[in-house]
A = this chain, B = another copy of it.
Amino acid sequence: MLALPRRFAPRLRALRPYSSSTPRFPCVEAHATRESRLASSFSSSSGPEPPYARPNPTSYNVFRSKKPLPLTYHSSSLPTFDVAYETWGTLSPARDNVILLHTGLSASSHAASTSSNPTEGWWEKFIGPGKPLDTNNFFVVCTNVLGGCYGSTGPSAIDPETGVPYATHFPILSIFDMVRAQFRLLDDLGVDKLYASVGSSMGAMQSLAAGLLHPERVGKIVSISGTARSTPSSIAMRYAQRSVLMADPNWNNGFYYDAVPPHTGMKLARQIATITYRSGPEWDARFGRQMRPPPPDTPVAEPRVPALCPDFLIETYLDHQGEQFCLKYDANSLIYISKAMDLFDLTFPALQALRLPEIPLSESQSTSTIDFAPPHSTSHSKSHPPPTNPPPHLSDLAQGLTLLANTPTLVLGVQSDILFTIEQQREVVDALRMAGNDRVVYYELGGVWGHDTFLLDVLNVGGAIRGFLS
């Protein structure tokens, strides 16, 4: 007699004939069910709406600028704009203990719980008394990014010229535009100089950009799992997300704010994104090849034929992640902000083409005659020595980062990250050191959490930040 199957094996089953009934696809029906539910809530005018459609300024502060914001890619400015923000800790009398915390793509300003919003924040374990961002010492400021949908001005905000949401009339944004808006807030708060600019993922882009736009106003930079120059692979992965989203008929060229939003496109986009946030080894350990449990009403003897809808636990996980997200975030914000990430490039030629008013690019810098410091041999682990003959883009990046030559910078990357790869971390480190920065601290983390490590690994990520900031 055969032994019972062991772990990872499908259950023994009596086989069923096929085509015995009309095929059903619960994963597809879920879209239609969601659509009906949302359509009826819209028509009733009192039903639930996406949270981004219900701004709640009692749970965060709003800096409201009446002064136009110049934009990187357009000649016209944003006439007015809001920046939603939250703070933790106490501003010192000298106003010299400020940490500006930058978020990833879809996060709100709610990095940690506050008295006005006690729900957990996205970096709850990193912010507070005695924590890596120690509020006994620091005054931490986190904003919802320009272009976002959690209180800051973005495509879902009302265009003052028309009285209706901007939708895709919203201007193309750059990471620099986002940082520019943040510094307007700092001006308003009377903060001349940041103790540190800290960010992970897209927040790391902003963190570097802040230092570059205002070298004299940024004391230290922390760049975790970020990049100085988006690569084709990461552009491809974000492009795939935008494509499925924009193909949703509900997207309607971005004009959906008076109708049911593109929830199906958002779910599909989030599923793709989730693949890039974690790593294979983690899923091997967590899900392996396990199947979802049978529905509770299934008779024990009922045979199981594999389904075309989610069947493996990894599939139900992706499905769940998409389902949870699809109404929590504004589709146009996702499109605009992910595009800003694609456009991010701190190499000298790219910066030069943008002609940012904050960044003076002298003629001497525009030539390739700068004598770069050779990368230190200690730039990272022995098995990955810095290039002795750097490729052109690395020299271009070093040239672009010369304004950061004197800013102490912590770079931290994760070897299992497939979105912001470890090679990109090394590139930032090499370029900074080539630009003459001898105060670059660099750590590579192992582990299986991939890009999401920055959200999860308080011990290692938090420890590196704590050490660098103190």
Which A residues lie at the B interface, using CB under 8 A? Answer: 1-3, 5-19, 23-25, 27-28, 31, 71, 73-76, 159, 161, 166, 168-172, 229-233, 235-237, 239-240, 242-244, 246-247, 249, 251, 253-254, 264, 268, 271-272, 275, 279-280, 283-284, 287-289, 305-306, 308-310, 312-315, 318-319, 335-336, 339, 342-343, 345, 347, 349-350, 352-355, 361, 363, 366-367, 392-393, 396, 418, 421
Contacts and interface: CB of A to CB of B under 8 A. Distances in A.
B5 A350 contact: yes
Contacts of A253: 23-25, 28
A94 B58 CA distance: 85
B244 A3 contact: no
A393 B352 CA distance: 54
B280 A246 contact: no
B289 A345 contact: yes
Contacts of A283: 231-233, 236
A230 B289 contact: yes
A356 B393 CA distance: 55
Contacts of A367: 3
A352 B18 contact: no
Contacts of A15: 71, 73-75
Contacts of A353: 5, 9-13
Contacts of A172: 18, 305-306, 308
B343 A171 contact: no
21 contacts: A3-B363, A5-B349, A7-B392, A8-B350, A9-B352, A12-B353, A27-B243, A172-B308, A231-B283, A232-B280, A232-B288, A232-B312, A236-B275, A236-B315, A236-B318, A237-B275, A239-B310, A242-B308, A246-B309, A247-B264, A289-B345
A210 B404 CA distance: 60
**Leading 3 A-B pairs by shortest Cβ distance:** A9-B349, A18-B171, A15-B75
A74 to B, nearest CB: 4
Contact of A168 (B23, B275, B396): B23
